[in-house]
Amino acid sequence: MVSLHKNKYSHDTLFNKSFHHLKSYDFVQIFAIFFLLIVGLIFIYSTGVQVGTPLATGAWIKQIKWILVSFLAWSFFASIDYRKLKPLAIIFYGFTIALLIAVLFFGPKINGAQRWLVFKPIGLRLQPSELAKLSVIFFLSAILSSHGFDINKLKNMLIIAGVIILPFVLTAIEPDLGSSLILIPLSAFIIFAAGLRWRYIIIASSFIVVVLGAEIANESYEIYPLLKNYQKERVLTFLDSERDLNNRGYNQHQAKLAVGSGGMYGKGIGQGTQNTLGYLPQSVSNNDFIFSIIAEETGFLGCIALISLYLLLFYSMLRTAFITPDHFGRYIAIGMTGIFLAHSFINMGMSAGLTPVTGLSLPFVSYGGSFIISAMCGLGVCQSIYRHRNKI
């Protein structure tokens, strides 16, 4: 009888431990990620069938492989104590800077840009600019949460500026202007949360406006142009959508037509015409313009459902930031929110004509491995912050 009682007690204890372990997870985040990944797989498969090439039809299988790898990464970071990552932040940042420099020397040129490092022996292709977003978040969070660090001192401001500018410049000269620009909102979110005084925010904003105005004049008069011709044309076409409908403006114009033609309920999954008939660029229809395909095939209601999933994800990350008493964890969660918010807005905006075409992925929905793996690593850390919120 005693042994039976002990066994029952041990089983109850094991059950309670398992229950409390599961209860510690943020299921809002898990729910949003799961359904975004499902939506992505459905439409990556749909676009592949429509395009019909072997590369396109097999894209959804590759996406599943990346999802499995990213899930393992998410599970690892969700299970560890995120505070152990703080002393490693500077190492991760330095490693990323080394990769960004290496890609400029050893990366293959694809369409005039060097954005990838290819490791042929193991069949790996890495985009260092995706790691740069995470490394800036972790390093800024580690610095700003250090004991006695005051963001409102000039010396410290210069340190923070240097941490941001170095990867920004290295990414921009690949050139990957879209990824480099993402560093601005994620850094701004973190710096604002760190308590930068309003007068410095106003001064910084004024400085940015002046620099931006000078750059516009520089590009307009071609004094010392920094933008490539195709980048300049993207901006000009965005400002005037009918500037070059047969060339530079063609893709975005067709993307807007796809969004508008979906109506309230859409044409049905796999029944869209813009991609099937080749009006959208089929080489990137499952990445850059996947929102156009979703809008055409599921309509306004489908877009609202998709946006609702992103809002759930944003809510999850911001809730984590607000409830954790640890500054390091709070800044990481806020920085990750900045990445996802910027990526989502810019990608959807490209299809709706609200933002220039930049080639940024729609998180968890667009086809691609580097971003989904780095994003899941970041969200795994956010999950760890949520789980350890009461253990500070």
The tens digit of pLDDT for each residue in 136-153 reads 999 999 999 998 899 999
Quick: pLDDT tens for 180-193. Answer: 889 999 999 999 99
Percentage of the chain surpassing pLDDT 70? 85
Helix (H, G, I), strand (E, B) or coil at 116: coil
CB-based burial label for 97 (10 Å; 0-12, 13-18, 19+): middle
- In the chain, the amino acid numbered 131 is L
Q: What is the pLDDT of residue 269?
A: 87
Joined together, the tokens standing for residue 346 give 């810019």
**In this structure, are residues 258 and 293 in contact, taking their beta carbons and an 8 Å threshold?**
yes
Cα torsion for 85, 103, 351, 277, to the nearest 10°? -130
Helix (H, G, I), strand (E, B) or coil at 270: coil
Under DSSP, is residue 243 helix (H, G, I), strand (E, B) or coil? Answer: coil
Low-confidence ranges of the chain (pLDDT < 50): 1
For residue 118, the surrounding DSSP H or E stretch is strand 117-119
Residue 341 burial (CB count, 10 A): 20
CA angle centred on 314, ends 283 and 91, rounded to 5°: 80
pLDDT of residue 118: 79
- pLDDT for 11: 57
Structure tokens at 106: 């050893």
Q: How many CA atoms lie within 13 A of 139 on its CB side?
A: 24
Question: Widest CA span of the chain, in angstroms?
Answer: 92
Look at residue 351 in the predicted model and tell me its pLDDT: 86
In contact, 266 and 337? CB cutoff 8 Å: no
**Nearest residue to 24 via CA among 83, 72, 81, 85:** 81
pLDDT of residue 156: 93
pLDDT in tens, 45-59: 988 877 777 777 888
Helices and strands counted in the chain (H then E): 14, 2
Closest CA to 235 of 252, 223, 260, 221: 252
